[in-house]
């Protein structure tokens, strides 16, 4: 069989039967995976209408704080870094979230957030870290996070620095506060 006949039969087969591509477990064969939905959020952290949500992951881990001397002579808990596992819709660990802040997926793609320029909205749940819209830069590696420019943190539970335990005598102490959240990634 010639190359052109093979190509023609592949095109005919594709048009007749569809393309055999891997699909997520919750998607019917031949169907497109469902689009990632935009979460309902306060206006302060709404992603621009021109951005497209491409991935949603749950996070379970800790917000890590260190007791540091304050400018006025006292001391206060300062965020050092998050340390969390990223979990996909299938319930499997798909990556990590850590210092930077960074999000790294097992496919090699990652995103680094610009925490200093993040927009914030209070969590509707008392004692939970704020909801955020964080400008981000992809590492350029092919994968699910390639081209991501924004990360949104929503549905937070826990993670707030303790109200006590940090004073001049405990400078340098560290604590890890459990938290969960949902991260939505946009291109």
Confidence of residue 74 (pLDDT cuts 50, 70, 90): confident
Q: Which of 110, 115, 80 is nearest to 96 (CA)?
A: 110
Closest CA to 149 of 124, 98, 184: 184
- Which pLDDT score, from 0 to 100, does residue 36 have? 86
Q: Could you give the angle at the alpha carbon of 11 between the alpha carbons of 6 and 14, nearest 5°?
A: 125
- The mean pLDDT of 75-104, rounded to a whole number, is 96
- Distance from chain centroid for Cα 115: 13
- Can you give the chain as a three-state secondary structure string? CCHHHHHHHHHHHHHHHCCCCCCCCCCCCCCCCCCCCCCCCCHHHCCCCCCCEEEEEEEEEEEEEEEEECCCCCEEEEEEEEEEEEECCCCCEEEEEECCCEEEECCCCEEEECHHHCEEECCCCCCECCEEEEEEEECCCCCCCCCCCEEEEEEEEEECCCCCCCCHHHCCCEEEEEEEEEEEEEC
Segment 49-69, tens digit of pLDDT = 999 999 999 999 999 999 999
Mean of pLDDT values over 97-125: 97
pLDDT at 19: 32
Looking at per-residue pLDDT, the higher value among 138 and 2 belongs to 138
Per-domain residue ranges of the chain = 52-186
| Predicted local confidence at residue 71, as pLDDT | 78
Higher pLDDT: 21 or 154? It is: 154
Residue 65 near residue 79, CB atoms below 8 Å:
yes
| Mean pLDDT of the region 172-176 | 97
- Give the pLDDT mean for 34-44: 88
> What tokens appear for 30 in the block?
């031949």
- Categorize the per-residue pLDDT at 33 as very low, low, confident or very high, splitting at 50, 70 and 90: low
Q: What is the mean pLDDT of residues 85-103?
A: 96
Report the pLDDT value the prediction gives residue 6, as an integer from 0 to 100.
35
Assess whether pLDDT exceeds 60 at residue 94. Answer: yes
Give residue 34's pLDDT: 62
Look at residue 1 in the predicted model and tell me its pLDDT. Answer: 39
What pLDDT score was predicted for residue 72? 77
Note the pTM of the prediction, 2 decimals: 0.80
> Is 179's pLDDT higher than 50?
yes
- Provide the CA 89 distance to its chain's centre, in angstroms: 13
């Amino acid at each position: 069989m010639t190359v052109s006949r093979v190509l023609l039969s592949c095109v005919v087969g594709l048009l007749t039967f569809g393309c055999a591509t891997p699909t997520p477990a919750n998607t019917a064969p031949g169907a497109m995976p469902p689009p990632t939905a935009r979460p309902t959020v306060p206006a302060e952290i709404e992603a621009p209408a021109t951005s497209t949500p491409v991935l949603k992951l749950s996070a379970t881990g800790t917000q890590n704080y260190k007791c540091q001397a304050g400018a006025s002579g006292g001391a206060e808990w300062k965020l050092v870094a998050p340390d969390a596992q990223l979990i996909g819709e299938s319930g499997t660990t798909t990556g990590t979230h850590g210092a930077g802040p960074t999000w790294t997926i097992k496919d090699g793609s990652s995103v680094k957030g610009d925490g200093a320029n993040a927009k914030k909205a209070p969590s509707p749940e008392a004692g939970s870290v704020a909801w955020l819209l964080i400008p981000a830069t992809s590492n350029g590696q092919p994968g699910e996070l390639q081209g991501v420019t924004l990360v949104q943190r929503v549905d937070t539970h826990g993670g707030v620095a303790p109200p006590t335990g940090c004073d001049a005598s405990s400078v340098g102490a560290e604590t890890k506060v459990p938290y969960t959240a949902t991260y939505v990634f946009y291109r």
